């Protein structure tokens, strides 16, 4: 009797059937999507129109220049609110070119100073507009990420771990698990 009543109520449209399905969404989001906004705000505070100027510096400036320099920020000229023009006496335009500040290793500073026009041209070509007019150099050590070389697998330790797993018939699987076990023990 109760089932018949429930069927009548649902058929009459008096209630909506509950959907227990969760909304579809991707399982993993790319890291750039998650950190893009956070990193983008930081780069914006440093004057960068695009984070790619920092992340793709080697491609933009060239390997030789990028090996001895890295962009710190872009300084934009201040615009006077009363005059509507830059305060440095530059011509008024919708987009005023800024100064790219580079951190440069001491010995390479002179060479990079001589390449300033080429670097400005490459940056402007990458951005698609005349964003950088000049370059200012700051001599300081570069912030290079230090990569530790991968530790070599100890064959003896892997063999000792493999000897404890005789129940695994597949030789390749046993060897892989032995290398993993030796790496975990090493830490």
What pLDDT, on a 0 to 100 scale, did the predictor assign at position 111? 92
| Residue 94 covered by a domain | yes
Statement to judge: residues 133 and 55 lie in one domain = yes
Number of domains forming the structure of the chain: 2
HEC profile for 82-126? CCCCECCCCCCCCCCCEEEEEEECHHHHHHHHHCHHHHHHHHHHH
With the CA atoms of 157, 162, 164 and 168 taken in that order, what torsion angle do they form, in degrees rounded to the nearest 10? 160
| Residue 6 covered by a domain | no
Statement to judge: residues 114 and 160 lie in one domain = no
Residues 37-71 pLDDT 10s: 555 555 555 555 566 788 888 898 898 998 999 99
Is residue 103 within 8 A of residue 136, CB to CB? The reply is no
Mean pLDDT computed over 7-18: 58
| Residue 65 covered by a domain | yes
Q: Whole-prediction pTM value?
A: 0.49
Statement to judge: residues 80 and 160 lie in one domain = no
Statement to judge: residues 71 and 131 lie in one domain = yes
Tell me the residue range of the domain where 169 lies: 155-186
């Amino acid at each position: 009797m109760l089932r018949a009543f429930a069927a009548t109520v649902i058929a009459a449209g008096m209630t909506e059937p509950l959907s227990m399905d969760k909304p579809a969404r991707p399982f993993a989001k790319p890291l750039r999507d998650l950190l893009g906004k956070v990193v983008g705000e930081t780069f914006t505070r440093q004057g960068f129109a695009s984070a790619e100027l920092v992340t793709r510096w080697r491609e933009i400036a060239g390997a030789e220049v990028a090996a001895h320099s890295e962009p710190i920020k872009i300084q934009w000229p201040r615009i006077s609110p009363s005059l509507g023009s830059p305060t440095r006496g530059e011509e008024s335009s919708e987009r005023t070119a800024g100064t790219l500040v580079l951190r440069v290793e001491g010995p390479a500073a002179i060479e990079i100073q001589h390449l300033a026009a080429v670097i400005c041209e490459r940056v402007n070509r990458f951005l698609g507009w005349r964003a950088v007019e000049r370059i200012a150099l700051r001599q300081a050590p570069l912030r290079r990420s230090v990569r530790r070389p991968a530790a070599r697998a100890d064959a003896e330790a892997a063999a000792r771990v493999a000897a404890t797993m005789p129940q695994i018939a597949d030789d390749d699987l046993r060897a892989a698990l032995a290398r993993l076990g030796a790496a975990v023990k090493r830490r």
